[in-house]
Structure 1
Amino acid sequence: MNPSGSSRSLHTPVPRPVSSLSVRPSSSSRPSSSISQHRPSTSIGFRPPSSASHRTQSRLSFRPPSRSSRSRIIPQCQTLVTQVTGIEDQESDDFKDLVEYAYRQLEPTTISKPSASVDIEVIDRTISGHALKARVNLKEELATSLEHCYRKLKDHIESHESDLDAPVVSNKIPDHLQFLIALAQPPSAASLAYADLYLERVKNPQPSTPPLTWAEILAEEPFEGDHWEGILDPIGDDWDTTPSLSPLNSDDLALDDDDSSLLSMDEAERAPSTDAQFTPPQEARQPFSPEHAKAFRELQHQQYWRKEWRSDADPSRSFDLGDPSTLGPSIERAGARTRKERLALDMLAPPKYINEEDMVREVLIALQGRENTVFTWENDNMVLTSSPPRLIHLSLQSQASILESLGKTATTVQHLRHFVAHVFAQSANRITSADGQSRPIPNLRFPQTKTAEAFADAIDFEIRKFEAWCAEREEDMCRAGLENLDEPLVVSLLNTEQTLRNEYDESFEILSTIVRDVFGYPAGSTRRKFWRSSATLSTALLDTLFSHLQEHMERNAVVTGNTLLRVFVSSSEPIWGMVGKWLRNGMNVATFSDKQNPGDLEEEFFIEYNGIGVGMLSMGLLDPDFWKDGYSLRELSSETEAEGGTGSASRQSVVPTFLEHVAKLILGTGKATGLIRALGVPLSAHGFADWPLFADLVRSHPRNVEPQENDDGPRSLFSVSVDSLSAIINDHLREPCHETGAFLSQLLFEDCDLRSHVNALEDLFLMRKGDAITHFLDVVFTKMDANQAWSDFHFLNTAFGDVVRSNLTPGSQEWIQLSLVRLSYRGHRDKDRNIHRTVRAIEGLSVEYAVPFPLTYIFRPEIVQIYSEIFVFLLQIRRAKHVLERILIREDNDRHQRLKEELKVFYAMRSRLSWFANTLLNFLTTYVLHVQILKFHEDLDKAKSLDEIITLHDDHLDKIQGRCLLKPNASALHKSIISILDICLHFTNIFVTFAGDTTATHDVSRHSIVLKHRSRKQRRIQRNVIGFSHSIRDIDLVSSDDSDPDEMLDESEGRGPPDTTTTSFLYDETMGGVDDGDFFGRIEKISREVDGLVRFIRRGVESLAGGTTEAAPAFGVLAFALEDWDL
């Protein structure tokens, strides 16, 4: 055995004999000293060298480093294989193979080759590179925290560089850092969050814990606290035990035999004594004095709730009118009339009588929700116990009646406590707890909303105030017993019941009714079994509260009304806060994703996002219907079950009643705020930055009555009446909302050129630009007269563009932007060919005007379509007027003299048709379009919001559409007018056929066409003259499908136009041929047909003129003008 192999052996220059090792204790039994390190040479410790001391070393004594490294790493490989594979049998072949494989893998890197080392400069560059990369990636916090942490590490290395006891040597720290950097991953979100937290802790370090001082130790109780831990530990050493590290005496250093004495030491002597435990001194206990026993007996005598307690009253005494204590037992005995009842009464245990102040105390305890000797909680009710104590001066029935009344109040308040607890528990489940513990979710049948939480909190406030009132009364009773009250106190059950009624009236009963009706709570309630949405629940709660509030205020129930008003205002705070957030932030105009809630609107808020146009590039905002339908007042479909079991669906508004009068104002203001932000215009808060609490608003309003001096804060807040509540809200919102709307209106007029676009629409669709529109129509009518393709897309847009540009004067601005206008024909491809037979062919013409954003919210596609319908109707009238004006017979004396008498009939008919067309066109342009445009412009100048502009424009266009007889309710009159216009075209064809000359027509309006080449114009006019030499038999008459016979009533009955299915020229088969040559008979039929249609139109217009609508005066003008038809 080589003694040098022990790490704890002493390093001596002379080897010691083996015999000395057998008796010397190990170095662990006592500490080494400086003397033991240099032991003097003695006769025992010195041996002369011998040949055995100088043994020749063999080559086996020199082992190569690889073999020693193998022997050192093999156990580690075995441990690694056992932990990874789980094989514990080291003798198995698989285990040996795996160990050999692990050794071969580790040998090249750990045994054969020395590991590479880095210095601190490499680490400096690496850390600087990572910090620079973080800054390039805009992760400033990560870079700053990394540099600060590394700088702190270097400071620590420098301060502990000479510390030899450090667990990591300073020159090895770069290798450790290099290893950690190699294992590190790219920074994640958690890394960035920790970097922020690290910098926050650096900026705001936590205060260090103050050191423990003797003053603090002495201030505590003896032997208490963490600093006394282990002092009295039975496992530790006894106080009289000598320390194990005591210094050695001189005798121990002389001889080795002294070491054997340490080995023979009794272990029991070193072990702590279990019997010798410290016993703290006890104070001498003083014996109880007689005064203590007397006080104890008096206290026991007052504990009426103990079973063995008995009252001093004697229930066996006879009734005495002057002693109330004899009333109860006497009535009970008098009630037992028969002998059996008296025997049964004597067999019963004597009732337990208590004092009335004790009974009142028990009632107050029950009202605070705790069971006692009188009341117990059973079957969700606070009921009397099986054997409640009695009051000796009350009969059993009167006492039960009073206690049952108080028990109902206690039951109601206890139900409200349970409701509040359930709501708070569900609310706590939605909030992630710091300790990460899960809480059971209560089984509630209604969704959790902020309004419900505020309602529960308001009820909890009322309950806590009620409990404070009960505790105050109990305190007064105790003080009265100690004679600490200035005035005498009356304590009785009747007084308690009356005081409770005066203080709270029906407050808790009404609140319990609201909870039962709205939330269906408690679970046994049969009401509201269906599930409600968050918005419906919040609205129903506020409306129910507001309804009960109004009812009690009208009945002058001040106590209950004040309680309901406090609860109502507190419950309205979440909705009021949502209103402020909506007005301050406005609608969300960012690009929406499926995981985002636009505008962060709460589900219980009465404004909702409808999800129109959700997609890329924020197309929802550019949708023309986004302003109208993107955000709207929330409406839910509700199904009401009928008695027969069938359900009927209806739309239910979820706007609270007290906000209905300002709901649209709130909606429009929020949308205006979002639109202004979308246009890139900075917007001030307009009074919405400092949004007050609803309670503060009510308190600070000048309509509120000044609180009384003795009123507390919460009660004096709500002396405002219900009638003025709406006025308070309206006064607070009206001015800032109007400022926001006016700012948006100003932005539309000044930056978006609203006025110029309105003028352009009116000039085009309503034909206010007379010269340009007339020029354009002449070009189109020329194509129609030549029976050419007038509906071609390129022709219509090119012709319109040429006309607009030709009417421009140098230096003037275009009255319309050509890039915004597009004309197209969307009718049947063969229908436009019938333009010379019916004006219905023009109905396929469509005119579009692409207004820029955000004016698309005003001029929506359906609005532009109505404009297009008005344009087409005016075009049809002007087409009929145009073909009538083209009829002109050129001078031919011989033929003119021959046809002079016959032509009078045609000219008379032409005159009547022209009169109708001119009268109708004059009415529409003068008394409809011109009047409405002037009024609209006047109202437009006064508009203060975008919603008001949209409403004004929609009403303006609706009036024009109605007075042009383009609405469905005037379809019969409109069809009659179209029939007359078709007759104008057909009359022209008959006239040309009768004249038989290609020069029978002349375009009197042709001079309006202004082109550059006059000679070409004249030649084109000659070529475009239409000749009707073919027979009229070839003309395809209008099908009867174009008219609705059901809407054409019999003229003789005065209810509709003539029956066109049999008498109209459009459907008379005999008019298809010309062999009979009866042109005058056809003219006669046309005359009768036109006369019937005009009379029908006049009667319809007269009925409209006799109405009470705003359009009646305008229709009166047309009816008066049509009276000239009979002249």
Structure 2
Amino acid sequence: MAQNAKVAALTDELIHSILKFDPNTNRQAYKHAKDIAKSGLRAHQYARTNQFDVQQSFVGLDEKFRVLNRDDLADALDERVKEINEYTGKWIPECLSLLLLLSDRPTENSRVDALELLRPPTPPPELTWEQILAEDPYSDEEIWKDIDYAADSSEDDLLPPEKEKAKPSPPTSVEEDDIYDPEETIVTVETDVVEELQKAQFWKHPRTADDEKVEITELQAVRETLFMLAGLKTSLFHADRRVKPEYELSHAMTKTTYHQLTDLGHIGKTIYQLRQWVKRSASLPLVQTFEAAVANRLLAYDQSLARLQRRYLVPESPITVSLLEVHTNVKSMSRPILRLAQLIVDIEPQLLVNPFIHLEILFDQISLAQMTLEKDVFDYLSHIFFECLRTYLKPMRKWMESGHLGLNDETFFVFENDSGSEMASLWHDRFVLRRGQENKLRSPSFLEPAAQKIFNTGKSVIFLKELGIHTSQLPATVEEPLLDHNTVCGTSPDLPLSTFSELFQAAFQTWISSKYSLASTVLREYLLRDCGLVTLLNNLRIIHLSANGSAFQDLADAVFERMDSGQRTWNDRFLLTELARGVFTTVLPRSESERIIVRAVRRSTKSPTESVKALAHISIDYALPWPIMNVIQRSSLPVYQQLSIFLLQTYRAKYLLQRISPQSIGAIQTAPLRRLGYKLRQRLMWFADVMRSYLTETVIELAFTDMKAAISKAEDIDEMANVHMRYVARLQDQALLSDNLKPIHRGIIALLDLAVVFSQHHAGMQRGTKAKSKPSVRETRRKVSGLSHETAEEESDSSNVGDDDDSVDSPSSGQRKLEDGLAHIEREFERLLPFVTAGLRSVGRVGAEPVWEMLADRLSWNTSSR
């Protein structure tokens, strides 16, 4: 009760602090707020951890570890669970539950050997009397000795400690009465040496006037110069490596000395700037390698300076000190490093933007040094170039051998564009080349000729990994050829006769071939042999390009029969798919024919018999495996379908014309009209035959033969895909399906449509002939009822006003319609054929395509024979 009262008082205080109004004024609101507070502050009893669930969880973990072949981990866990269960305490289940909640993938992150670190160290063994006596045995005499109890009295702590008596010095061989002379222990100072040393410190010599010169020796000038070149502070030069004018040589002209020292100061200033540049730290490994190479050259330069100093400091034989000789030697040995320093000054502003600019400049400078016959500079820069190139080749080697790319590696020219791309576009879409401004490849310019081969090698490795044959069929990696100065330029003391660019490209191509030929050869053989690339290309030619004319004719006839049946579902994709599979099963294996799918592009509201364009409403697809889809790209399949439709349109015209027999045309009573019918049938059938022969024999057959020969020689998928794209583009152009040849193609389709119009006129003529030969119902009734001829004529005249079903065209009107239709067909043929022929000749002259000229000549035969 006391607890409830305390809670109620605190609740009232809380409500007063929040609401800030008198409860007497609004009792209902106060009561509502108090109820809300009580419900929120009501005590809750939380259940304890279920110890049986915890034990069951550990049993499950033990079973899981053993299933995953981690018996060592299961044994260690079981041992420690049993050990902790031996302790009695109410919080042990909670502790075990907490450990379960804190666990994170124990099978992957746990190591049993790490438990040895938690094992306490083994305590040392207890000391026994046997060990003590063995080390310090005692005798019986020592046991019975009396103890001096006064030796350690407590009173001794109050007395000051006595001073130790000095130990007597050991006896010596000197007599006690010998006397030492202190002056004998003092080293005499050589005043001449001190004066010489003070004189050598020329920087301390006082000057009475500002324009007074301090004379120094040539050796002092040489020493100061070498110190300055080593980056040290000197008295002869300012901090910026300018010569101080107050010093001069006593035996040389001031201007001559000043000129030599100024020239050496310029060298020292350039090298000092190089030293300052090396002290900075870059984040990119490629730039870090370059900085390390420069630092090594500075170290070698300092060693050369040290050897030069040693020559004057500790000469092996008497030499002549000459500042002019030092000037000559320093200029000679500084020429390569000065060229390097100038190179760094040129590239430093661009190095952050283009991290491999130093490789390009080094490559150019090496070629320039070779042309100017600077052997020392050539060797010097060449070694630096190959040291830096070794770092640049690391991601390239990783890409070509395993297909891996570094994370955010902006220095490499390959990057992953779309990791989720389909397998059918793995080769062309997943990885792309990194390009910069003006679509320039982001790589050193000297590597651009081989960039595509490097790119394809990595993609080939990834392709093989996706196929699961990277490790099984890929042969062992051959030894990688070296790519250094000695391998590329040789060890001859003279400059190589061939240019450095040619030597490097030859060595680099050898280096690439050691990695490129392995993956590309295996992948090429897999596509040609296991996937049957050439076989699938031939299947496409059979299905789309009428390689087997008999099967294609059967398919076309079956489709045409459905079109002429008058059903609106003639282009049902399911029925047409079964029809196509049944036809091509006779020439293809059943597994291949099952890949054929016929799709209805759109449904036409017009009758399919009005134009050959209705065949464009269906398309034939052939499902290809994804490795082949990387060679035969999706963008080329519409061209196959367009050419297939074009062939079906020529077959359609020939099909309709063949249904018109010469006997049916001979039934026409008018001789001129009959001759015109024969003429149009022959010319239209001739045109359809010429177009079909041109497409199948001139265009498709020759292009496929060339493509098959080229694709068997291709080295990788990229070259195979390019060969196939050129093949498809050739088909599209020569078959008059490209955009710039659309007018000629439309003219050919219009000529093929004339065959449809001719067929319709002939069908109308046949319907009129049948209607004329068959007696009408009304005439039969007149004969039966015995009506007179006059009455029959009156009824016939009156019935023709409203009875259209029984009325037929008179022979003269049907003859006139047929004559007008055939004349229109002849006029259109005479108009369209010269247009197509002239168009073919003009584009043949512009595009230099001989097949167009050949087609124009074949189409002109009929014109010239008229």
* TM-score bucket of the superposed structures, by smaller chain: 0.7 to 0.9
Q: Residue 450 of structure 2: SS of its match in structure 1?
A: helix
What CA distance in whole angstroms lies between the structure 1 residues aligned with 2:344 and 2:334? Answer: 18
Residues 1076 and 396 of structure 1: is their aligned pair in 2 closer, same or farther, counting only changes over 3 Å?
Answer: farther
Residues 928 and 462 of structure 1: is their aligned pair in 2 closer, same or farther, counting only changes over 3 Å?
Answer: same
**Alpha-carbon deviation of 1:1085?**
4.6
- The reply to whether residue 779 of structure 1 matches residue 558 of structure 2 is yes
Match of residue 1125, structure 1, among 857, 862, 865: 862
Question: Do the aligned residues in 2 keep the contact of 1:877 with 1:921 (CA within 8 Å)?
Answer: yes
In the other structure, the counterpart of 1:822 is 597
Question: Do the aligned residues in 2 keep the contact of 1:838 with 1:985 (CA within 8 Å)?
Answer: yes
What CA distance in whole angstroms lies between the structure 2 residues aligned with 1:299 and 1:127? Answer: 86
In the other structure, the counterpart of 1:625 is 425
Question: Do the aligned residues in 2 keep the contact of 1:823 with 1:845 (CA within 8 Å)?
Answer: yes
What CA distance in whole angstroms lies between the structure 2 residues aligned with 1:457 and 1:252? Answer: 74
Question: Do the aligned residues in 1 keep the contact of 2:395 with 2:406 (CA within 8 Å)?
Answer: no
What CA distance in whole angstroms lies between the structure 1 residues aligned with 2:299 and 2:75? Answer: 51
What CA distance in whole angstroms lies between the structure 1 residues aligned with 2:187 and 2:629? Answer: 98
In the other structure, the counterpart of 2:835 is 1096
The superposition leaves residues 388-436 of structure 1 with CA deviations (integer Å, 9 ceiling, x where unpaired) of: 533344555444433333223222222222222213xx4xxxxxxxxxx
**Alpha-carbon deviation of 1:765?**
0.9
Residues 693 and 944 of structure 1: is their aligned pair in 2 closer, same or farther, counting only changes over 3 Å?
Answer: closer
Question: Do the aligned residues in 2 keep the contact of 1:705 with 1:719 (CA within 8 Å)?
Answer: no
Residues 666 and 1087 of structure 1: is their aligned pair in 2 closer, same or farther, counting only changes over 3 Å?
Answer: same
What CA distance in whole angstroms lies between the structure 2 residues aligned with 1:141 and 1:288? Answer: 79
What CA distance in whole angstroms lies between the structure 1 residues aligned with 2:449 and 2:620? Answer: 40
Q: Residue 854 of structure 1: SS of its match in structure 2?
A: helix
What CA distance in whole angstroms lies between the structure 2 residues aligned with 1:388 and 1:787? Answer: 116
- The reply to whether residue 565 of structure 1 matches residue 382 of structure 2 is yes
**Alpha-carbon deviation of 1:967?**
1.6
The alignment's TM-score, normalised by the length of structure 2, stands at 0.73
Question: Do the aligned residues in 2 keep the contact of 1:584 with 1:685 (CA within 8 Å)?
Answer: no
In the other structure, the counterpart of 2:545 is 766
Q: Residue 348 of structure 1: SS of its match in structure 2?
A: coil
Residues 174 and 991 of structure 1: is their aligned pair in 2 closer, same or farther, counting only changes over 3 Å?
Answer: closer
Residues 360 and 980 of structure 1: is their aligned pair in 2 closer, same or farther, counting only changes over 3 Å?
Answer: farther
**Alpha-carbon deviation of 1:349?**
4.3
Question: Do the aligned residues in 1 keep the contact of 2:278 with 2:294 (CA within 8 Å)?
Answer: yes
- The reply to whether residue 422 of structure 1 matches residue 280 of structure 2 is yes
**Alpha-carbon deviation of 1:1121?**
1.2
- The reply to whether residue 518 of structure 1 matches residue 335 of structure 2 is no
After TM superposition, the structure 1 stretch with the greater mean CA deviation from structure 2, 902-911 or 184-193, is 184-193
Residues 795 and 997 of structure 1: is their aligned pair in 2 closer, same or farther, counting only changes over 3 Å?
Answer: farther
**Alpha-carbon deviation of 1:629?**
2.3
What CA distance in whole angstroms lies between the structure 2 residues aligned with 1:964 and 1:191? Answer: 65
**Alpha-carbon deviation of 1:972?**
2.3
Residues 180 and 936 of structure 1: is their aligned pair in 2 closer, same or farther, counting only changes over 3 Å?
Answer: same
Residues 135 and 998 of structure 1: is their aligned pair in 2 closer, same or farther, counting only changes over 3 Å?
Answer: farther
**Alpha-carbon deviation of 1:824?**
0.8
Question: Do the aligned residues in 2 keep the contact of 1:583 with 1:688 (CA within 8 Å)?
Answer: no
Residues 977 and 401 of structure 1: is their aligned pair in 2 closer, same or farther, counting only changes over 3 Å?
Answer: farther
- The reply to whether residue 491 of structure 1 matches residue 322 of structure 2 is yes
Match of residue 475, structure 1, among 310, 316, 339: 310
What CA distance in whole angstroms lies between the structure 2 residues aligned with 1:1075 and 1:997? Answer: 7
What CA distance in whole angstroms lies between the structure 1 residues aligned with 2:104 and 2:497? Answer: 53
Q: Letter of the aligned partner of 2:734 in structure 1?
A: R
- The reply to whether residue 668 of structure 1 matches residue 460 of structure 2 is no
What CA distance in whole angstroms lies between the structure 2 residues aligned with 1:252 and 1:733? Answer: 93
Question: Do the aligned residues in 2 keep the contact of 1:562 with 1:719 (CA within 8 Å)?
Answer: no
In the other structure, the counterpart of 1:308 is 205
What CA distance in whole angstroms lies between the structure 2 residues aligned with 1:127 and 1:986? Answer: 87
The superposition leaves residues 661-711 of structure 1 with CA deviations (integer Å, 9 ceiling, x where unpaired) of: 22222222222122222222235765746445532xx4246xx43345xx9
What CA distance in whole angstroms lies between the structure 2 residues aligned with 1:663 and 1:986? Answer: 58
In the other structure, the counterpart of 1:866 is 639
What CA distance in whole angstroms lies between the structure 1 residues aligned with 2:465 and 2:205? Answer: 80
What CA distance in whole angstroms lies between the structure 1 residues aligned with 2:398 and 2:246? Answer: 56
Q: Residue 694 of structure 1: SS of its match in structure 2?
A: coil
**Alpha-carbon deviation of 1:350?**
1.3
Q: Letter of the aligned partner of 1:768 in structure 2?
A: A
Question: Do the aligned residues in 1 keep the contact of 2:214 with 2:248 (CA within 8 Å)?
Answer: yes
Residues 452 and 783 of structure 1: is their aligned pair in 2 closer, same or farther, counting only changes over 3 Å?
Answer: same
Matches within 5 A, 1:20-419: 185=99, 195=111, 198=114, 250=149, 266=158, 269=160, 287-290=185-188, 292-304=190-202, 306-308=203-205, 348-377=210-239, 382-384=240-242, 389-419=247-277
Q: Letter of the aligned partner of 1:499 in structure 2?
A: N
What CA distance in whole angstroms lies between the structure 1 residues aligned with 2:649 and 2:620? Answer: 14
Q: Letter of the aligned partner of 1:706 in structure 2?
A: T
Residues 456 and 612 of structure 1: is their aligned pair in 2 closer, same or farther, counting only changes over 3 Å?
Answer: same
Q: Residue 290 of structure 1: SS of its match in structure 2?
A: coil
Residues 277 and 504 of structure 1: is their aligned pair in 2 closer, same or farther, counting only changes over 3 Å?
Answer: farther
In the other structure, the counterpart of 1:95 is none
**Alpha-carbon deviation of 1:572?**
0.9
Residues 1113 and 489 of structure 1: is their aligned pair in 2 closer, same or farther, counting only changes over 3 Å?
Answer: farther
**Alpha-carbon deviation of 1:653?**
0.8
Residues 395 and 907 of structure 1: is their aligned pair in 2 closer, same or farther, counting only changes over 3 Å?
Answer: farther
Residues 953 and 199 of structure 1: is their aligned pair in 2 closer, same or farther, counting only changes over 3 Å?
Answer: farther
Q: Residue 439 of structure 2: SS of its match in structure 1?
A: strand
In the other structure, the counterpart of 1:463 is 298
**Alpha-carbon deviation of 1:728?**
1.1
Question: Do the aligned residues in 2 keep the contact of 1:412 with 1:508 (CA within 8 Å)?
Answer: no
What CA distance in whole angstroms lies between the structure 2 residues aligned with 1:784 and 1:950? Answer: 37
Unaligned ranges ≥5, structure 1: 1-125, 155-172, 206-246, 279-283, 311-345, 427-447, 521-527, 588-597, 614-619, 639-649, 1001-1029, 1032-1073
Matches within 5 A, 1:1062-1101: 1077=816, 1080=819, 1083-1101=822-840
Question: Do the aligned residues in 1 keep the contact of 2:413 with 2:442 (CA within 8 Å)?
Answer: yes
Residues 181 and 130 of structure 1: is their aligned pair in 2 closer, same or farther, counting only changes over 3 Å?
Answer: farther
What CA distance in whole angstroms lies between the structure 1 residues aligned with 2:752 and 2:166? Answer: 126
Give RMSD over aligned pairs.
Answer: 4.4
The superposition leaves residues 920-964 of structure 1 with CA deviations (integer Å, 9 ceiling, x where unpaired) of: 111111111111222222333333433332222222222112111
Q: Letter of the aligned partner of 1:300 in structure 2?
A: Q
What CA distance in whole angstroms lies between the structure 2 residues aligned with 1:466 and 1:516? Answer: 19
Q: Residue 660 of structure 2: SS of its match in structure 1?
A: coil
Question: Do the aligned residues in 2 keep the contact of 1:760 with 1:816 (CA within 8 Å)?
Answer: no
In the other structure, the counterpart of 2:364 is 547
Question: Do the aligned residues in 1 keep the contact of 2:289 with 2:387 (CA within 8 Å)?
Answer: yes
**Alpha-carbon deviation of 1:491?**
2.5
Unaligned ranges ≥5, structure 2: 1-56, 122-145, 168-181, 772-803, 806-812
In the other structure, the counterpart of 1:750 is 529
Question: Do the aligned residues in 1 keep the contact of 2:707 with 2:723 (CA within 8 Å)?
Answer: yes
- The reply to whether residue 602 of structure 1 matches residue 398 of structure 2 is no
Q: Letter of the aligned partner of 2:199 in structure 1?
A: H
In the other structure, the counterpart of 1:791 is 571
What CA distance in whole angstroms lies between the structure 1 residues aligned with 2:109 and 2:234? Answer: 55
Which one has a larger percent helix, Structure 1 or Structure 2? 2
In the other structure, the counterpart of 2:659 is 886
Aligned pair count reads 721
**Alpha-carbon deviation of 1:352?**
1.8
After TM superposition, the structure 1 stretch with the greater mean CA deviation from structure 2, 917-926 or 362-371, is 362-371
Q: Residue 550 of structure 1: SS of its match in structure 2?
A: helix
What CA distance in whole angstroms lies between the structure 2 residues aligned with 1:421 and 1:396? Answer: 37
Q: Residue 632 of structure 1: SS of its match in structure 2?
A: strand
What CA distance in whole angstroms lies between the structure 1 residues aligned with 2:302 and 2:369? Answer: 24
**Alpha-carbon deviation of 1:362?**
1.7
Match of residue 537, structure 1, among 334, 344, 355: 355
Q: Letter of the aligned partner of 2:230 in structure 1?
A: Q
Match of residue 803, structure 1, among 552, 570, 583: 583
**Alpha-carbon deviation of 1:573?**
0.9
Identity between Structure 1 and Structure 2 (%)? 21
What CA distance in whole angstroms lies between the structure 2 residues aligned with 1:905 and 1:899? Answer: 10
